[in-house]
């Protein structure tokens, strides 16, 4: 059992490191009403981050999470982009908890591993407010609210969700609101389901 937990922890760390290739810098500020204002700077580095007035390619967008994906685990609804406190309280103690610097954003990822899912909460460096940024299904013992699960034929996902918004030879991407669901498959079988805020 400890070996499995160690392997899962290594996988989580590898996934976190994979996000390092993103050259965008994203800064978020939360407001009431389920909206987040996000500043995205293309190709940002430390010098442009220090002088936001001179940063090129900065765009202010409003992120409304009301249409985002909602995953349900142990009777708890987990909406992507939502504040994490009530969800973390309802889920109870995680098997493992890990804090890592976010490679994709300026802040920290708090990664919580439970029996069947891994939940990531992002904390912006500016202290503007934590939000749920990622939910990854790691077991065939749980399914999406619509009934898709690991081990299922990939064509079943199309029957339920329709054509993917984007597809590669290994993944289908479905967008909803400001979130997306990624279904990874091998040999026509689903091997991973992940919800995230890109």
Tell me what pLDDT residue 124 has: 93
Candidates 76, 97, 190, 78; CA nearest to 139 is 190
Q: Measured between alpha carbons, how far is residue 197 from residues 2, 105, 107 in Å?
A: 30, 11, 15
Q: What pTM does this model have?
A: 0.69
DSSP state of 57: S
Q: Provide the number of structural domains found in the chain.
A: 1
What is the domain extent for residue 181? 2-196
Rounded to 5°, the CA angle 175-179-183 comes to: 60
Per-residue pLDDT of the chain (198 residues; tens, 9 = 90+): 545 545 444 454 545 444 454 434 444 444 444 444 444 444 444 444 444 444 443 333 345 788 999 999 989 999 999 999 999 999 999 999 999 998 878 899 999 999 999 999 999 998 889 999 999 999 999 999 999 999 999 999 999 999 999 999 999 999 999 999 999 999 999 999 999 998
**In sequence order, what are the residues at sequence separation of 6 or more whose Cβ sits closer than 8 angstroms to the Cβ of residue 55?**
41, 44, 48, 49
Tell me what pLDDT residue 57 has: 39
Helix-, strand-, coil-residue percentages of the chain, each rounded to 5: 20, 40, 40
């Amino acid at each position: 059992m400890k070996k499995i937990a160690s392997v899962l922890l290594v996988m989580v760390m590898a996934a976190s490191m994979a996000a390092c290739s993103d050259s965008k810098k994203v800064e978020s500020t939360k407001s009431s009403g389920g909206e987040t204002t996000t500043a995205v700077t293309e190709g940002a580095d430390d010098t442009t981050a220090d002088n936001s007035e001179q940063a090129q390619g900065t765009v202010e967008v409003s992120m409304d999470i009301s249409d985002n994906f909602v995953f349900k685990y142990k009777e708890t609804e987990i909406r992507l982009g939502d504040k994490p406190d009530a969800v973390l309280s309802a889920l109870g103690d995680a098997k493992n908890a890990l804090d890592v610097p976010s490679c994709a954003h300026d802040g920290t990822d708090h990664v919580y591993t439970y029996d069947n899912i891994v939940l990531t909460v992002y904390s912006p460096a500016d202290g503007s407010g934590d939000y749920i940024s990622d939910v990854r299904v790691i077991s065939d013992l749980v399914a999406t609210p619509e009934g898709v699960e690991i081990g299922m034929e990939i064509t079943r996902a199309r029957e339920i969700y329709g054509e993917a918004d984007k597809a590669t030879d290994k993944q289908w991407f479905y967008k909803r609101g400001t979130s997306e669901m990624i279904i990874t498959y091998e040999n026509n079988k689903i091997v991973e389901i992940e919800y995230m805020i890109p």
